[in-house]
Structure 1
């Protein structure tokens, strides 16, 4: 499976423009041969645009995500719209299972080539350091894994990288590749590089860390979208400018690495 991580330049609060840019980038990646396109965290509103969260929030069955479902089907590509601001009450009214009856969630949605919703992941670890996410969002509870064209895929989001137990849950479920849409800022660049690689090494799985690009008043995203293989080797990586990163995900290689170096079997 060829995965494309879209390091999108995100403008805080400019939802319509951000969505248009994301749609164009998804179509371009599909035209270049991607099987799966991954968008960064809160690509619709911008992570640090806290006061815009409520205005931007929609149901997961709303117009914005329905557009990405349509693009996935039209471009014949799998798309992780990850993440957007979800209005939990609106999602519940549309018959979607939610962790709370009201509030907002930081939600990633995976659509297949038919535009069908295959996975919903709501960020489990909300970031409180210099951020209003913990005040404005409801944490998720589940760590879903799905089979997508022969690859077992899991999703986490940004700050989740600091909590290895969550990745262990996915490893126990046989995940081949973990997608990590993020809005990781400066100055913690070395944390970003180290944690993504560590999660790949310790779980013997591919890890694709897909960051945004751009500045938000006093904060700026560090970019550096990277795909690691199950040995923690960098397959593809970029700097801070908007671009798209592509790499091949091979589930047979993940299985072979685990067979060759069966560390997961030695846990006590």
Structure 2
């Protein structure tokens, strides 16, 4: 390989930490692909491997990712290497590369958090913006044709956002839950909604319920959820009062229907 090519490209050796080799599968568990040929990637085949070598443009990685900018253009020993090891969820990382190269990626309820976490870790602002816009649209729109965020996924997104993403993501999760309260209160995971998330939801100005009794019904469903009260920061009685006080408060505020 010519020296100029070594300088221009870097090989990303991506290993999926969750990969489990099937004894019946081929002994060859690594595949080599090129970011220059993203349009022809067969994702289903690629994801069947435990390790993937991706030939990527060094300059693009440096320009589009703060992680690779620091790694490949800074004082790290890896800056002069032509092979970089990456241990990450393979599907999420490949989608990150696709975004980094300007390709459209599909965000779903289940893929949002892995993609958002990848964007944060590798410092890809383009993907961060796409993720935030996706969640913003769902949190603010009343279009029933838009995809839904599964409640189990929303809880994980909210928890991750509290710890890693400031107020923006948690606020959007609260807004989404408030807007879709009538739908989620019958979800099997409704009892797993954290107390703080539920409180912010019922206080939200865009809480959408058909009637006061719908709000009461939802709160009672949550309070009756098996084992949920044991995790509350206050006594069961005090938290019951705190939640039910919100019904009284909502009486003096207009309800969205």
Q: TM-score range by the shorter chain?
A: under 0.3
TM-score by length of 2: 0.27
Structure with greater strand percent: 1
Structure with greater helix percent: 2
Asked which structure has the greater RCO (Cα within 8 Å, sep 6+), the reply is 1
* Bigger-Rg structure (1/2): 2
